[in-house]
Amino acid sequence: MKILILNGPNLNLIGRREPEIYGTESLIDFVDKMKNKFPEHQLDYFQSNHEGILIDKLHEAWDNYDGVVFNPGAYCHTSIALADAIRSIETPVVEVHISDIYSREEYRHHSYTAEASVKSVVGKGLKGYEEAVMYLIENYKSGVYPGAIG
């Protein structure tokens, strides 16, 4: 299975600041380790700080990937365009947030992109990415994604 791990704004700085919220490990290092845990699957990593580039990547994922694990960062709280991009492709998208957005500042409590995704995993640290990958792998054959909310 080919899975794209897609990350949005500021997630390139994870591990360097605010360790009490995001931990001390960088996403690139974590994804590298995760690749060893899923040797029979292809995991590709991409990060951008730009909304349009993330939209382009989602469109490209339709023809090139079987699933996307997506942390849109703060764009999840604002971007109807990203939510539309998720809805516009047939590739299943699982949203991940490292922190529990629902127990943080009120302006983080709503996610447009989670509403368009088949599932969302929040507040589990970087392990949440692993849970999202496993969910995609487990449900790929049946093509049925239980718990789908969008």
What is the enclosing helix (H) or strand (E) of 85?
A: helix 80-88
Which of 90, 106 has the CB closer to ligand CA2? 106
Among 30, 73, 114, 120, binds ligand CA2 (CB under 6 A): 73
Among 47, 48, 91, 99, binds ligand CA2 (CB under 6 A): 99
17 binds ligand CA2 (CB under 6 A): yes
**How far is it between the farthest Cα atoms of the chain?**
40
Torsion, Cα of 139, 95, 11, 85 (10° steps)? 110
Which of 35, 49 has the CB closer to ligand CA2? 49
Tell me if 105 sits within 8 A of 81, measured CB to CB. Answer: no
28 binds ligand CA2 (CB under 6 A): no
Q: Which residues of 20-38 are buried (b: 16+ CB within 10 A; e: fewer)?
A: eebbeebbeebbeebeeee
In angstroms, what is the minimal distance from the CB of 63 to ligand CA2? 26
* Amino acid letter, 2: K
In angstroms, what is the minimal distance from the CB of 14 to ligand CA2? 5
Which of 21, 148 has the CB closer to ligand CA2? 21
Tell me if 40 sits within 8 A of 3, measured CB to CB. Answer: no
In angstroms, what is the minimal distance from the CB of 91 to ligand CA2? 20
Place of tokens 């931990």: 23
- Please confirm, yes or no, whether 22 is among the known catalytic residues: yes
101 binds ligand CA2 (CB under 6 A): yes
Q: Which residues bind ligand CA2 (CB under 6 A)?
A: 10-11, 13-14, 17-18, 22, 71, 73-74, 97-99, 101, 108
